[in-house]
Structure 1
Amino acid sequence: MNYEATLEFAHKMDREDALSRFRDEYHIPKVNGQPSIYFCGNSLGLQPKRTQEYLEHEMKQWREMGVEGHFEGDTPWYESHARSKPALSKILGAKEHEIVAMNNLTTNLHLMMVSFYKPEGKRTKIIMEGGAFPSDMYAVESQVKFHGLNPENHVIEVSPREGEYLIRHEDIIEQIEKHGDEIAMVLFPGIQYYTGQVFDMKSITEAGHKAGAKVGFDLAHAAGNIIMKLHDWDVDCATWCSYKYMNSGPGNVSGLYVHERYADDNELPRFAGWWGHDQDERFQMLKGFKPMHGADGWQLANQNVLALAAHQAALSLFEEAGIKNLREKSVKLTGYLEFMLNGLNDSVDEPIVEIITSSKPEERGCQLSLFVHKGGKELFKKLQEGGLIADWREPNVIRLAPTPMYNSFEDVYRLVTLMEKVFKQF
């Protein structure tokens, strides 16, 4: 696409954007009394205006019905976990019985590994990324120790090569093939949080299965961001969070995916909870756990109804916009940010920031990570004072997420104009 570094071009792109109306569905935070340049959807998505309405609906039901709200009214709480399934199945590329919204991400990571990390004999190791987000890092360490093993000997990390920022796909496959008969599980993110790199989940799954291992993914930065086909890719299990690109609220509900081949596998080890028990018998309070069909059988306790209401408000916007349409806009929007940043670097003798995210659209979502060569955190603070809300990661990276649901091409133009002004101070 031929981009232009002008405000007129940005306005033209926004006028032609079929999704531009969704910006008005969100509350845009202000800085110094003006709408911020909010590029932090990869950390916390913005609040949909309709969230309050959805929450008030459940508050009214609680207020007027009390405990009867579990089974009465137009949104009985007994079925609240099921309402998100149609939207989530499209976002994740899964069948409805393969997914359920529940818990938080770290809890679901542990539940996932209880069922799918089963070290036996020589096959005891987990392959994961080097420099993983602590959610994954600590969960894996503790799970390995839970089985009486030493993480230093039983966790294989794949890292970028020296002098590089991204993990080469061939290095991942090479490690899976090299340690094939030692691997119990392959656990990777869908998107690397620091660099924004998209991993080839389909071929990683194929390689892991060929080696005889189970394959799972942490989709915290992928869910609501890129197109996924978890069922078709034959992924064993996955989890995600809903407060980043899915805009469901701070710390809100996670979700779990389990491939349908395990839907009625009652012999698969799991940490059971009463809400995962066959709901037709749930209130008989019988001994002997009998899991529900599919992912629902991994539920632990009755769900947080208010959290799910906020989640449903956000998902209703995804149903209207469509994940494919959002991804198409994302490619254009992120491409425009890349074009503008490259132009900014071309105008100076020595670039102040370096894009460390892949230049290939298929290898990134709506995030560009910038390595700051001059100014460091002081430069970032100046950008914040000028209206930017984004994410700083030590030691020297600014993560920018032009999110297609509510960000505009004008936002990109405003950001780079601000950066040009701030860079002159360093």
Structure 2
Amino acid sequence: MTTHSFEDTEDFARRADEADALRSFRDAFHFPPGTDGKPLVYLAGNSLGLQPKNAARYVQEELEDWARFGVEGHHHGRHPWLHYHELVTEQAARLVGAKPQEVVVMNTLTVNLHLMMVSFYRPTKTRFKILVEGGAFPSDQYAVASQARFHGYDPREAILELKPRPGEETLRTEDILATLDQHGHEVALVMLGSVNYLTGQAFDIPAITKTAHAKGCFVGFDLAHGAGNLKLALHDDGPDFAVWCSYKYLNGGPGALAGVFVHERHARSKDIPRFEGWWGHDKATRFQMGPTFDPLPGAEGWQLSNPPILQLAALRASFELFDQAGMEALRAKSEKLTGYLEFLLEKLPPGFVRIITPRDVKQRGAQLSLRFKGEAQGMLKRLSDAGIICDFRKPDIIRAAPAPLYCSFTDVYRFVRTLEAHARD
């Protein structure tokens, strides 16, 4: 389905849904009901994903095993807790294009980001800067600034921000690479989002990683808006690490466990500085309770504590759906959904709305960020009253994310028709 084959009709949207090989996955999720009792059009999976229907059953199983076995559930439950996190390891690896040894599900995103920077931000007198995108998610900004201060540097000198060209909304890849060519000898760490939370721009991970490594920099990515959204190839692309949350596109629930990728070239480097905890200790000797830390090879060696099983159970329900659908098919549908959304938006009256997300589908995920003529928060309220959920970011941006695992072409059509009804308000 190309842009030229789209049609601005409800019948076309219905036919596209009927032809969608992934349409059955929509039934695997709970949709919040609107005031009329019908399911909402949910375009906020970039903020919090919907609940998989199996999540409650999987969580209930672990509650039952806790009641039945008590502490013995670590060994004798249906899914013994001692190894429960390993149930999602291979699925997580497939989601981000990694080897199982390179990933682990643990903690929350910013905790993991700090743990990774302990290991991979190693400033020296001449190489101490951290390269970030201007307008990164605030938590990332706070994290890198605090790491710089922790090492005795003024963030105003240590943080090197990438800015769009005057009059432009997003960064150009050639400008990112040019900055690395010019300043790479000063940069200790490149720390970018894979997809910028505000603009929806997806960055060129392999090109940035290759250039940064050639300049001697460590490279990490925040995949908060990339995991479960883009078709990633972290092992082949070669960044040193990546971190992600699981409550957005990955549908793990509010405050869900996060994930970490550490490239296999660091798998057995015991001299890497890290914060240590007993769950990262070699499994063969962990319960000998020895005084000296012996890290597991790979990403598991960065674990600190045993994971919360109930959160893992909910996440497992979503990962199974991703595994069944496959990221290649999901990404293909995502490109069609955002392409259809873009096509319909361009039919609206001139000047009413402006798309700030890149038009090239290879430079964006499932999100289109929209600037509206007039007051955007009022538009958000009108959308909500019509049974359509998006989200708002100051000063004037509404983000619409038709997540391909559960959103439909009819959802996109209904969203734009609602916008059209207010285009001349």
What TM-score do the two structures reach when normalised by structure 1?
0.98
Shift of 1:137: 0.2
1:104 pairs, out of 89, 105, 108, with: 108
Give the conservation status (yes or no) of the 8 Å contact 2:380–2:391: no
- 1:362 aligned residue: 362
Q: Distance in 2 between matches of 1:316 and 1:70?
A: 22
Which residue number corresponds to residue 215 of structure 2? 211
- Please give the residue correspondences for 1:202-351 in structure 2 after superposition, counting only pairs within 5 Å: 202-344=206-348, 348=349, 350-351=350-351
**Which residue of structure 1 lines up, in the alignment, with residue 121 of structure 2?**
117
Residue 372 of structure 1: CA displacement?
1.4
1:200 pairs with 201, 204, 210, which one? 204
2:422 corresponding residue in structure 1 = 422
1:383–1:422 contact (8 Å) kept in structure 2: no
- Give the C-alpha shift of residue 265 in structure 1: 0.6
Q: Is 2:78 the partner of 1:74?
A: yes
Give the SS at the match of 2:347.
helix
TM-score, with structure 2 as normaliser: 0.98
Aligned: 1:188 with 2:192: yes
Distance in 1 separating the partners of 2:321 and 2:134: 35
* SS state at 1:398 partner: strand
CA offset digits 1:302-348 (Å, max 9, x no partner): 0000000001011010111111110111011111111011111xxx2
Shift of 1:102: 0.2
Secondary structure class of the residue paired with 1:198? coil
Deviation at 1:34, TM superposition (A): 2.3
Q: Give the match for residue 27 of structure 1.
A: 30
Q: Is the 8 Å Cα contact of residues 375 and 396 (structure 2) preserved in structure 1? A: no
In 2, the alpha carbon distance for the partners of 1:57 and 1:167 equals 47
Q: Is this contact kept in 2: 1:393–1:399, CA < 8 A?
A: yes
The equivalent of 1:411 in structure 2 is: 411
Deviations 1:158-205 (A, max 9, x none): 011121110111111111111121111100010000010000000100
**Matched letter for residue 17 of structure 2:** D
Question: What is the DSSP-based 3-state SS (H/G/I as helix, E as strand, rest coil) of the residue aligned with 1:365?
Answer: coil
Deviation at 1:138, TM superposition (A): 0.3
CA distance in 1, matches of 2:379, 2:415: 14
Unaligned runs of 5+ in 2: none
Look up the equivalent residue of 2:111 and give its one-letter code. T
Q: What is the Cα-based RMSD across aligned positions, in Å?
A: 0.8
Q: How far apart are 1:224 and its partner, in Å? A: 0.3
Worse overlay, 389-398 or 30-39: 30-39
SS at match of 2:210: helix
CA contact (8 A) 2:65 2:78 kept: no
AA aligned opposite 1:22:
F
Q: State the shift of 1:366 in Å.
A: 0.5
Q: Which amino acid aligns with 2:217?
A: A
2 CA distance for matches of 1:376 and 1:269?
A: 46
